[in-house]
Structure 1
């Protein structure tokens, strides 16, 4: 004889399927979510390790910047005007090192944190803390490692009109609007390179793609706030502060408008646009 079972309680217990979020249709945003959660977990569990990864970003950026300026200095001696090409090519390796060595870069985290808030993966306060920490330790690393590099042979006794000093003086002489617009494009390019890296599987292909994409912003001389941390510091230490127009006010002016422009380009134009495009019921996703 079957005994009737009381199942009245089941109405109050949601099924496992009801609790689960809809599967992410976009392979790209699956990877963005995974990367974001790794960043949040590290930040929550080991602030020191997160800070170290942020400083490593500007270690690699400082080395790339130093190599770029160093090759440009030598290229200019051989063929005046060629320094711009060698600088852009060598600087591109900075992002290759940052990505492959798992360092934390503030301008890419502008995208990750903003998209994370939009997609309700984390709160605004947490996103702001992580991004602020990244920028702070990028700055500390940029100053520290640039000072150390300035003590090395290639940056001793540089002539006044060399490529490094004139290039930095030019950056500091730009208008607010020019810095802002150039910074928008710079971080559109940087976050495009990060996105390409997430989508590609072959490491050799990733390296080539990153180099040629970053070449665009480096060759055009656009403004990237994190790249300017070691660039300004290296120029200051190598010149003993003798660069024309280099004052605390001119440096802060450049960094402020570069920061705002980078956020617009990376977080809003690339990050938010693609997050919105992929929040769709259709199969047209990235």
Structure 2
């Protein structure tokens, strides 16, 4: 059987070759782009492969920043996150229920705290202390919003407990306690040269309870019985934000003190503390103690810690 010759065959051959060559050119272009991207990536430093930052070493063995951060998270991470979540929950509650907390109210609560339990906020800086008081006030106001306390009960409480509202001047104080006068003088010299009181307290102070808090012993006043009277006497003579003179304590040791804040003493009249008393009496009517975690569900707070 004879096959007829297609007269257009020669004309179609170059076209077929062109069609076959096109995919090859595309493949070459792709390979070129990939090689170019690889070369650029090779030139740019890979941060993930860079050595970790070393924050300390022992006998040449490094401690990395990642190890440090992991250890801190295990030590205090849960408590810090819990407080952050609770602060946020309380601020959300204040917005929802139209609750306002003024600086004047915080000042009152802070003054009352210094006269009752001055150490309750040791370890916190001044701003953290005020934030914690604010959150507590929001919680108390939410819980007592619908609790009715008669005016006579409020006034009667004030008359019977008026002395509670005569507040002594309080001094937010930090201490460094060392065995000898020479060590105290050396520490004082280091502070004069710019060393941190907080850091030196952690390093040198023999009073372990306050040393772990950078020397902070909270608010002290003339009635504070848990400290050597010489510490209070020295605080009275020290300006706010300053380090005082060396103090010789009853047990023979020496102390350096730093006064971080001074809250002036004063007497509060009935009008100034009326709402505080009303709130405290209302809280006594509640069947049980309630903390901010009770509001997590209401404000869609989710806890991812440990997951």
**TM-score, with structure 1 as normaliser:** 0.25
**TM-score, with structure 2 as normaliser:** 0.24
Normalized per residue, the structure richer in strand is 2
- Bigger Rg over Cα: 2
Normalized per residue, the structure richer in helix is 1
The structure whose RCO (Cα within 8 Å, separation 6+) is larger is: 1
